[in-house]
């Protein structure tokens, strides 16, 4: 076994339904801001679900030239903007000498769905000659990675992960492994998604995955609540700059926190439903804890996958209890999806950022809209209000269609 490098977080960026930069996102998490509202990105009149958690008032021209943005799908724009935020925040410089040691991995569950839909309509109504030559590079899910690498000049390890709602977390975990093994000095990583489109909303609605609480959309995302009826689709991106500790120290970088563990598994059970009792998720949590050489008593906070669907929340609760036993009731577990909605492949990125903010600002984000306790979900879900407390170690869970499970472990620097 080679000597593994320690890996730290030196930059963070976020584009979310409750804030378009880190300062706004932090305030949103601390205040329990609700990012859900009626859909404005298209006319939802014919849809059974008419609300979502949209990114609002994003000034993309600060990061992307207007001419370029027309050639980029919305998910890529989110990814590049969050990547630039994180990169500038880190103070990292990319030169010809170090560019091959700095890489990018940005996950997306769906990719350029808006482009795919709009160009399919053009094909249907106007014929193949009217389809844009930018169609393929706009819709393929690796393009957020490619465009971020081009924008920043990162020539190191570069890939894209597409493991549904676990994609952003897998991207961070895979980047962590590359750095541990000395295959890179820094990685720009996370997730990006923009699937609030007619097809995206209709598809999830037909699968009975969404909440249909049209009369009260702001109360629709209610993880672990007994009256939860489905998730609220969201959009955005969360990106981290990870570096080996040696590289960060060499340039006297500010260090937010350390990433110490990564566990990933597959249920091999069903295309959408989690394995009974959350067995696969529990194994991912166990692997992350073992990877970090953590005792169970050290875990201070779990950022849950917490989608607000009946099956996920019940099974995730079971997974946590199977690992932590009686101590499960002493660990705060919250779902920031109650505020941001479910960003699909982008969720792991913004939730990793939430964990880092929790560590650095010593608070736990709330699970808002938690009103009616569910006997099958009986942990401390930090209901409705953020909690000020010391946080030394935080876990982030992400589980995706296809049975993909990820757990990431973060800690304060020791």
192 neighbors 114 (Cβ within 8 angstroms): no
Query: Can you spell out the DSSP letters for 254-321?
Result: ---EEEEEEEEEE--S-SSSPPGGGHHHHHHHHHHHHHTT--GGG--EEE----S-HHHHHHHHHHHH
3-state DSSP call for residue 332?
Answer: coil
Exactly one of 165, 189, 355, 377 is catalytic; name it. Answer: 165
305 is catalytic: yes
**Rounded to whole angstroms, how far apart are CA atoms 358 and 301?**
9
| Cα–Cα nearest to 167, from 333, 408, 409 | 408
340 close to 53: Cβ distance less than 8 angstroms: yes
The one catalytic residue in 5, 49, 189, 342 is 342
CA distance 224 to 235: 21
Residue the block writes with tokens 């305030």? 27
Residues with Cβ within 8 Å of residue 292, at least 6 apart in sequence: 260, 261, 393, 409, 411
Please, are residues 313 and 224 in contact by the beta-carbon 8 Å criterion? yes
Please answer whether residues 94 and 152 qualify as being in contact, where contact means their C-beta atoms are separated by less than 8 angstroms: yes
Q: Of 49, 305, 355, 407, which is the active-site residue?
A: 305
Q: How many residues does the chain have?
A: 414
User: How many Å apart are CA 318 and CA 353, to the nearest integer?
Assistant: 25
Please give the DSSP secondary-structure letter assigned to residue 182: T
What residues are labeled active site? 165, 305, 342
């Amino acid at each position: 076994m080679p000597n593994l490098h320690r890996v730290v977080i030196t930059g963070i960026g976020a584009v979310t339904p409750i804030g378009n930069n880190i300062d706004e996102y932090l305030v949103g998490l601390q205040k329990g801001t609700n990012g859900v509202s009626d859909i404005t990105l298209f006319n939802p009149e014919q849809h059974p679900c008419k609300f979502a958690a949209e990114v609002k008032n994003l000034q993309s021209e600060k990061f992307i030239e207007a001419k370029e943005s027309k050639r980029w799908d919305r998910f890529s724009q989110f990814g590049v903007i969050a990547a630039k935020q994180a990169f500038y925040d880190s103070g990292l410089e990319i030169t010809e000498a170090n560019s091959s040691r700095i890489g990018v991995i940005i996950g997306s569950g769906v990719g350029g769905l808006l482009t795919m839909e709009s160009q399919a309509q053009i094909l249907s109504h106007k014929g193949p000659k009217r389809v844009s030559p930018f169609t393929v590079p706009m819709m393929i899910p690796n393009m957020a990675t490619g465009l971020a690498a081009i924008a920043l000049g990162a020539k190191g390890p570069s890939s894209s992960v597409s493991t549904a709602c676990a994609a952003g977390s897998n991207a961070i975990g895979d980047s962590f492994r590359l750095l541990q093994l000395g295959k890179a000095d820094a990685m720009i990583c996370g997730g990006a998604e923009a699937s609030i489109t007619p097809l995206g909303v209709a598809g999830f609605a037909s699968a009975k995955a969404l909440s249909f609480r049209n009369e009260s959309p702001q109360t629709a995302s209610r993880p672990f609540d007994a009256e939860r009826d489905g998730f609220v689709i969201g959009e955005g991106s969360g990106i981290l700059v990870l570096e080996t500790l040696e590289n960060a120290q060499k340039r006297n970088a500010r260090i937010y926190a350390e990433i110490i563990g990564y566990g990933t598994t597959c249920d091999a059970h069903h295309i959408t439903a989690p394995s009974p009792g959350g067995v696969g998720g529990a194994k991912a949590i166990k692997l992350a804890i073992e990877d970090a050489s953590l005792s169970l008593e050290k875990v201070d906070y779990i950022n849950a996958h917490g989608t607000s669907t009946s099956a996920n929340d019940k099974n995730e609760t079971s997974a946590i209890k199977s690992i932590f036993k009686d101590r499960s009731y002493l660990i705060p577990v919250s779902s920031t999806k109650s505020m941001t909605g479910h960003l699909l492949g982008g969720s792991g990125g913004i939730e990793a950022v939430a964990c880092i903010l929790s560590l650095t600002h010593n608070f736990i984000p709330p699970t808002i809209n938690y009103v009616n306790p569910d006997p099958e979900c009986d942990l401390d879900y930090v209901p409705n209000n953020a909690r000020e407390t010391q946080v030394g170690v935080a876990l982030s869970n992400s589980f995706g269609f296809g049975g993909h499970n990820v757990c990431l472990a973060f800690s304060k620097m020791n």
